[in-house]
Structure 1
Amino acid sequence: MQNQVTQKDPALKKRANLRDVAKAAGVSVATVSRVLNEPGIVKRDTLEKVQKAIADLRFVPSAAARAINSGRTRFVGALVPTLDNAIFARFLAALERRLSEDGLSLIVSTTESEPAVEAIKAKGLVDIGAEGLIVTGATHSDEFHSLLERTMIPTIITSYFDGTNPLPTIGYDNKAAAQLALQHLIELGHRQITVVHGPVHNNDRTLARLSGLRSVHWEGQFTTVETDISLRGGAEAAVRIVGNSAKTDAILCLSDVVALGVLFGLQSKGISVPEEISLMGLDDLPSSAVAVPSITTVHLPVSRMGERAAIALARWISTQERPEAEMLEAKLIERNSTIRNETLQK
């Protein structure tokens, strides 16, 4: 039978608290709190004593305790449709990086593009102390808007620009971005264009892009194919397009993820891009630049959008000044997947 342990292992000692630090440094609890929250106003010798006690006791400040003392949690919430799309990953990386410079942390929740889910998760973020919210798109449920009215929590809309929206929008003009892509294909002489897009249900960005395309006056025509925003969705759309008797000389995808899937689907059917058909995307994901052929696209400034949203929200939280709407410019990125219509192999 093993000997019973009669002495506690020092490693199992309870976590040091604010009072332990104050006792070790010979100061008051209030002084330790000032060292943690406003070190610039503490005398140097006192600061050094407290910092030494913190190091010796391996004291780690409790975020909950700090929130009680300061009235701040110092985190914000971001609500995005999914983490599967690289465009949201790039946006969130820039958002978190810039927020951290202002001493703010980020908690991310996914909504599956369902307004009811978004409202529930937004309430959950508010309930645990979020100081601000970042949301995707301009269309939200009545429950979500009611939450914002009750709490008056600073909230910024991204991936969408609308200067008339009651909430600040920091994003791009989705209509104009789609029109920029279509205009490029028109200038290349394409007249029979198939537009491949993701689900329109609860997606105001896709609806805005389609609206922008339909408002362009030109001599040709386009048909639309809806599919999942994924490589598989793009590949399946390509098979449908190839099997359609209608002639297509260019494919415009309203997402680079879908465009890459379409490229794979066309290649699996022995159809060469751009020799037999031009292909264009919209987003400018890193994969588009290294695809073979590289994919012509429209660059959406999602990283800059993350930075600008972080700056605006941090300032709103600290100063209570509501930011102005901000439109970020989309631009054409011409690569190797598009050529002039008259050079296509008939």
Structure 2
Amino acid sequence: MESRPKKKRANLRDVAKAAGVSVATVSRVLNSPKAVSEETRLRVQEVIGMLHFVPSAAARAINSGRTRVVGALVPTLDNAIFSRFLAALEKHLAKHGLSLVVATTSDDPEIETEKAKGLVDIGAEALIVSGIAHSPDFDRLIEQTRLPVIATSYFEKSYHLPTVGYDNAGASRLALNFLLAAGHKNIAVVHGPVKSNDRTQARLSGLKNPVSSHTLQMFETDISVEGGCAATLRILERDTVFTAILCFSDVLAMGALFELQRHQIRVPDEMSLVGIDDLPFSSCTFPEITTIHLPVARMGEATAQAVVHWLDTQVAPKSVLLEAELIVRNSTRELN
């Protein structure tokens, strides 16, 4: 028994022929409907529905000269902070008819450059990156293509690209000052890999105080719950008696909390714990984690606005500083 041939997907010419108009008219109905009479527009739209015609992105790009695609390069999708940022970014780009394509870089400048080239190849009209530390090859690519690029998760007014983010040094300083004011002198600091991560480097710089009377010890680990557990185990093995742990992310703080509970160390009675991010789960743990709120969803919205402004006006937007905020919960206490 012979199989029936699959129906061919309707294209622009099929619609034009069935509606009795030119291909250009169908294109105007799709891209600039106000430029077509109501009678013609309704007839073409009726045929589009009858033929189940769906215009392809490639066809729209040929006709309009635009792909309406924006590329985002982020270190990972495993961390909820990037997921929240991307969700807000995509939502607000979609309001302006822009589609988001995401690529992960593992915080590796070389991978970032290759992924950026791939986004350029598919016609991305703008790129969004994390931080301000990028390889010379990436900078040359941007200079060559002259693409709009917004750097996020970092505020630096003097950077050669617009930035939308927060003061990372200020965020860690806010957490440290809170612990110092509560009487903590020996504090363990748990942070992610320093290499190629300017956000972590900036947060470390925010802890420097040459006239301080407190002691800080740094513990580098992977930014994961497992990494937080491993770093806390190392903290507990030290001879120093720490009274507080400051984690550079809530993900690390979650791991620290688990490891402390595994060793039956009560939080905050025997150890205070502070994170940075204010991820949703931080208010659901027991005890709830004191943290620094970073306005990640607002960053996604502001980044979308910056991209739309740049694409519409061909003028680079100004950098945007988003304020961090201390959220005090039950994982910290004042020392007597």
The answer to whether the superposition gives a TM-score over 0.5 is: yes
Whether contact under 8 Å (1:300, 1:331) holds in the other structure is: yes
Please give the residue correspondences for 1:79-94 in structure 2 after superposition, counting only pairs within 5 Å.
79-94=73-88
Q: Does 1:234 align with 2:228?
A: yes
Q: What CA distance in whole angstroms lies between the structure 2 residues aligned with 1:283 and 1:13?
A: 52
In 2: Cα distance, 1:91 partner to 1:202 partner: 21
Kindly indicate whether residue 144 of structure 2 is the aligned counterpart of residue 150 of structure 1: yes
Amino acid across the alignment from 2:137: E
Q: For the residues of structure 2 that align with 1:51 and 1:63, how far apart are their CA atoms?
A: 18
Runs of 4+ with >3 A deviation: none
Residues 208-243 of structure 1 deviation map (CA, whole Å, 9 limit, x = unaligned):
000110137432111111111111111111111111
Once the two structures are overlaid, the 10-residue window that deviates more, 312-321 or 327-336, is 312-321
Counterpart CA distance in 1 for 2:109 and 2:210 is: 30
Matches within 5 A, 1:329-340: 329-340=323-334
1:254 Cα deviation after fit: 0.6
**2:177 partner amino acid:** Q
Give the partner amino acid of 2:131. G
Structure 1 spans left out of the alignment, 5+ residues:
none
1:270 and 2:267 are equivalent in the alignment: no
Judged with a 3 Å threshold, the aligned counterparts in structure 2 of structure 1 residues 49 and 255 are, in CA distance, closer, same or farther, namely: same
Distance in 2, matches of 1:309 and 1:215, equals: 33
Displacement, 1:17? 0.9
Correspondence list, 1:176-325, <5 A: 176-215=170-209, 217-325=211-319
Which of 110, 113, 122 lines up with 2:104 in the alignment? Answer: 110
Q: Is the CA contact 1:249–1:278 (under 8 Å) kept in the aligned structure 2? A: yes
What is the aligned length?
336
Counterpart of 2:196, as a letter, is: N
The superposition leaves residues 274-324 of structure 1 with CA deviations (integer Å, 9 ceiling, x where unpaired) of 010100000101111100000000000111001000111011012101100
1:50 and 2:44 equivalent?
Answer: yes
Q: CA RMSD in A?
A: 1.0
1:40 paired residue number: 34
Partner of 2:158: 164
Identical pairs, percent:
59
Is 1:29 matched with 2:23? yes
- In the TM superposition, residue 4 of structure 1 has moved relative to its aligned partner by 3.8
Deviation digits for residues 155-202 of structure 1 (CA, Å, limit 9, x no counterpart): 000000000000000000000000000010011111111111111011
Q: Is the 8 A contact 1:252 1:279 kept in 2?
A: yes
Amino acid at match of 2:285: A
**How many angstroms apart in 2 are the aligned matches of 1:237 and 1:159?**
24
| Aligned equivalents of 1:37, 1:81: Cα separation in 2 | 35
- Residue identity in the other structure for 1:211: S
**What's 2:124 paired with?**
130
The match for 2:60 is: 66
Counterpart residue number, 1:141 = 135
1:95 aligns with 2:89: yes
Give the AA of the match of 2:178.
Answer: H
Uncovered stretches (5+) of structure 2, i.e. residues with no partner: none
The whole-number CA distance in structure 2 between the counterparts of 1:262 and 1:232 is 9
When structure 1 is superposed on structure 2, of 39-48 and 302-311 the one drifting more is: 39-48
Measured in 2, the distance between the counterparts of 1:340 and 1:163 equals 36
SS at match of 1:107: strand
Q: Does 1:77 align with 2:76?
A: no
Tell me the SS of whatever aligns to 1:79. strand
| 8 A Cα contact 1:179 1:216, kept in partner | no
Quick one: structure 1 residues 4 and 101, their matched pair in 2 at CA, closer, same or farther if it must change by over 3 Å? closer
The structure-2 alpha-carbon separation of the partners of 1:54 and 1:249, relative to structure 1 and needing over 3 Å to count, comes to same
Q: CA deviation at 1:26?
A: 1.2
In structure 1, C-alpha distance between the alignment counterparts of 2:52 and 2:210, rounded to whole Å: 65
Residues of 2 paired with 1:237 and 1:157: CA distance? 30
Q: State TM-score, norm by structure 2.
A: 0.98
Secondary structure of 1:214's counterpart equals coil
From the superposition, tell whether residues 4 and 158 of structure 1 become closer, same or farther in structure 2 (CA, over 3 Å): closer
Kept after mapping to 2: 8 A contact 1:280/1:337:
yes
C-alpha distance in 1 between matches for 2:249 and 2:72:
22
